C-alpha cells in the first residue's frame, strides 16, 4: 500500500510540511530573547511567566493559558491542570481571525489554529525573554505575505498586558478585516474549586457588559454561588480594555466568531448573559 502524498479538503490542499526546529538567541527592541523556530513541529509544552508583582501565568506553546493574581482563586482564565489547559487552546486565551479581502471574496486566515488544517505555507515561532517575564507568539504566512504576533507580559498597575501586531511583508496595499482578542475570561468571585466542579453552573451566572464610552469590558457574576437561602451579591468584577484599533466594534463573547468566518461582519455586543466572557476587537 502506497503512502498518500497530496491531501485535500474539498479542492483545497492541506499543508503537512514539518519544518526543522531550531533555537537561538535574538534581540528584539533592545531586549534579549530565546527563539524557538517552527515550534508547531514540536509536541505542545508548558511554560511559566514570572512577575515581580503578584501575577501568575502558565501558558502552553499552542497559546492556551491560565492566569491570575495572588492565587488560583483569583484567576482571569480558568485554573486547570496543564493537560486540560493545553487541550483548551480553541476556547481559552488568544484568538485571531482575519479576512484578506479581494473584492467580494476573501482568504480566511486563523493564526495559531491547528497547523495540520492550514492551507497556507506558514511558520510559527516562540520568543521568551531571558528574564522570563515576557513571551511572544509569531506566525508568518508566506502565501499571504503577512506576519501576525502577540505577546504576554505583566504590569503592576494594569494587570496582564497583551500586545498584538500585524505586519505586511510585501510592497502592496492589503485590505484586512480582523477579529482579535481573548476568550474564556472569568468574572470576579469564581474560586478554583467552583470552576472545576460546577463550571456549567458558573456559566449560567456570568454577565458581561460593555462600557461604551471607554470601551471597557466588565465581567461579573449575577450573584455569588452559595448553598444558603440568602442574597449574595457580586460587588466586584474583572475588567478588560484596549488601546489601538480606534472605532473598532467590541465583542463580549465568542458567539459571533462563526458569523465572522462566514460573512466577515459582526454586531457590537453590549450585554451578554450566561456565556463565557470574551473581549474582541473587530475592525475593517
pLDDT at 84: 96
At 188-205, the pLDDT tens digits run 999 999 999 999 999 999
CATH number, position 263: 2.70.98
Q: What is the DSSP string of 84-107?
A: HHHHTTTTSEEEEEEEEEETTEEE
Number of domains in the chain: 1
pTM for the full predicted model: 0.92
Give the span between the Cα atoms of 232 and 229, in whole angstroms: 9
Question: What cell was used for 184?
Answer: 474564556
Per-residue pLDDT of the chain (284 residues; tens, 9 = 90+): 767 667 776 666 776 666 789 999 999 999 999 999 999 999 999 999 999 999 999 999 999 999 999 999 999 999 999 999 999 999 999 999 999 998 888 999 999 997 556 789 999 999 999 999 999 999 999 999 999 999 999 999 999 999 999 999 999 999 999 999 999 999 999 999 999 999 999 999 999 999 999 999 999 999 888 767 677 788 899 999 999 999 999 999 999 999 999 999 999 999 999 999 999 999 98
In-domain check, residue 2:
no
HSE at residue 195, side-chain half, CA atoms within 13 A, is: 24
In-domain check, residue 3:
no
At 6-17, the pLDDT tens digits run 777 666 677 666
In-domain check, residue 165:
yes
Domain of 258 in residue numbering reads as 8-283
Give the span between the Cα atoms of 192 and 73, in whole angstroms: 5
pLDDT at 48: 96
Amino acid at each position: 500500500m502506497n503512502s498518500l502524498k497530496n491531501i485535500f479538503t474539498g479542492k483545497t490542499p492541506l499543508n503537512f510540511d514539518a519544518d526543522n526546529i531550531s533555537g537561538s538567541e535574538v534581540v528584539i527592541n533592545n531586549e534579549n530573547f530565546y527563539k524557538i523556530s517552527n515550534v508547531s513541529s514540536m509536541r505542545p509544552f508548558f511554560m511559566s511567566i514570572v512577575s515581580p508583582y503578584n501575577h501568575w501565568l502558565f501558558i502552553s506553546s499552542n497559546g492556551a493559558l491560565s492566569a491570575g493574581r495572588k492565587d488560583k482563586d483569583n484567576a482571569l482564565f480558568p485554573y486547570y491542570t496543564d493537560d486540560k489547559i493545553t487541550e483548551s487552546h480553541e476556547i481559552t486565551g488568544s484568538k485571531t481571525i482575519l479576512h484578506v479581502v479581494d473584492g467580494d471574496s476573501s482568504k480566511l486566515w486563523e493564526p495559531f489554529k491547528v497547523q495540520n488544517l492550514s492551507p497556507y505555507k506558514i511558520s510559527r515561532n516562540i520568543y521568551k525573554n531571558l528574564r522570563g517575564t515576557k513571551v511572544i507568539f509569531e506566525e508568518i504566512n508566506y502565501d499571504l505575505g503577512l506576519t501576525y504576533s502577540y505577546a504576554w507580559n505583566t504590569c503592576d498597575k494594569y494587570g496582564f498586558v497583551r500586545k498584538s501586531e500585524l505586519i505586511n511583508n510585501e510592497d502592496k496595499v492589503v485590505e484586512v478585516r480582523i477579529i482579535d482578542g481573548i476568550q474564556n475570561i472569568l468574572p470576579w468571585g469564581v474560586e478554583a474549586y467552583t470552576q472545576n466542579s460546577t463550571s456549567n453552573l458558573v456559566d449560567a451566572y456570568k454577565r458581561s457588559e460593555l462600557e461604551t464610552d471607554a470601551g471597557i469590558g466588565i465581567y461579573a457574576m449575577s450573584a455569588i454561588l452559595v448553598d444558603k437561602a440568602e442574597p449574595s451579591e457580586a460587588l466586584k468584577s474583572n475588567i478588560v480594555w484596549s488601546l489601538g484599533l480606534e472605532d473598532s466594534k467590541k465583542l463580549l463573547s465568542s458567539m459571533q466568531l462563526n458569523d465572522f468566518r462566514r460573512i466577515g461582519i459582526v454586531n457590537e455586543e453590549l450585554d451578554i448573559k450566561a456565556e463565557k466572557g470574551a473581549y474582541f476587537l473587530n475592525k475593517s
